[in-house]
Amino acid sequence: MIRIMGIALTACACLCLATVALAQNRTNQNQSNQNKSTDKQVDDKTFATKAATAGKMEVKLGQMAEQRAASADVKKFAQRMVEDHGKANKELAEIVGAPQDANREADREHQQELDRLAKLQGAEFDREYVKAQVKGHEEAVQLFETEARNGQDSRLKAFAAKYLPTIRDHLQMVRALAGKTGG
């Protein structure tokens, strides 16, 4: 009898431990899912600031490339960047105005990139410019995809969806240039 009660108590204890473990696992899964959904949510203000900062950078770099690049293909790409990003910048400014608290860290990072490329000329400039463009457009595609999918502001969401195909096209173009320039 005592042995049966001992087995029953052990079984109850195991059942309680299993229930606690299962509950904790579900809690952890719920927290993980909440973190994932938070990661996917877009802060529209951050999107607008990053898009505006990157757009201005594209125009400045494009203008620089029109003068410093050796390759006619790189110059043609740069001209397209000035035109397309200039147009997008104007449209974004109409939607949100000029972001007053632009990400200063990103501005510094962009300025460092401008300064670095300003020291280069010809084929070396082409290679480094194209390398920077690949990286920048990969980041922009992710940024615009996220906003187009998950943005809260309908105007910014529509803006992102409208320009996403253009940015993807830019990325495809610059990747082809990278093969030619070694960038």
pLDDT of residue 66: 95
The rounded distance, in Å, linking the Cα atoms of 163 and 169 is 10
pLDDT at residue 148 greater than cutoff 90: yes
pLDDT at residue 80 greater than cutoff 70: yes
Over residues 17-31, the mean pLDDT reads 46
- Which range has the top average pLDDT, 24-38, 47-61, 91-105, 161-175? 161-175
Residue closest to 116 by CA, chosen among 70, 179, 64 = 64
The rounded distance, in Å, linking the Cα atoms of 41 and 18 is 35
pLDDT of residue 18: 41
- % of residues, the chain, pLDDT over 70: 71
pTM, whole model, 2 decimals?
Answer: 0.72
pLDDT of residue 180: 84
Look up residue 172 and give its two tokens: 């495809």
pLDDT at residue 12 greater than cutoff 70: no
Residues 6+ apart with CB under 8 A from 154: none
Helices (H), 41-153: 44-68, 72-96, 104-118, 122-150
